[in-house]
Amino acid sequence: QKEVEQDPGPLSVPEGAIVSLNCTYSNSAFQYFMWYRQYSRKGPELLMYTYSSGNKEDGRFTAQVDKSSKYISLFIRDSQPSDSATYLCAMGARGYSTLTFGKGTMLLVSP
């Protein structure tokens, strides 16, 4: 079993839809959970950062972490064509120098 599993998609939705992106993981030491957005031919950029379990909201984006289920989600409300990108989840543990990334989910929002 891979440490971080993420459905590669593509996920196609119409503009205005609510999008749900998910990752599961196996390493219970992970405490830091991030979502990166990567536009085509660009570097990943940090979108959301969550420590341990709980929710975090930033504008149209909500990140959820359920450590008991080893499951994290990113919700995008009122999705826009400009949200079309690949979304990568990433996780880290205290004392570890590296992040473990999911393979990314490609999201396509059509006007």
Partner 1 sequence: DTAVSQTPKYLVTQMGNDKSIKCEQNLGHDTMYWYKQDSKKFLKIMFSYNNKELIINETVPNRFSPKSPDKAHLNLHINSLELGDSAVYFCASSRRTTGDSQDTQYFGPGTRLTVL
Q: Which positions touch partner 1 (CB under 8 A)?
A: 8, 31-32, 34, 36, 38, 41-46, 49, 51, 86, 88, 92-99, 101, 103-104, 106
- Nearest distance in Å: CB 49, partner 1: 6
Given the complex with partner 1, which of 59 and 95 has the nearer CB atom?
Answer: 95
Q: What does residue 106 show for φ and ψ, rounded to 5 degrees?
A: -85, 125
- Nearest distance in Å: CB 95, partner 1: 7
Distance CA 107, CA 95 (A): 33
Given the complex with partner 1, which of 26 and 77 has the nearer CB atom?
Answer: 26
- Decide: residue 16, CB within 10 A, 0-12 exposed, 13-18 middle, 19+ buried: exposed
- Nearest distance in Å: CB 34, partner 1: 8
SS3 content of the chain, % helix, strand, coil (to 5): 5, 55, 45
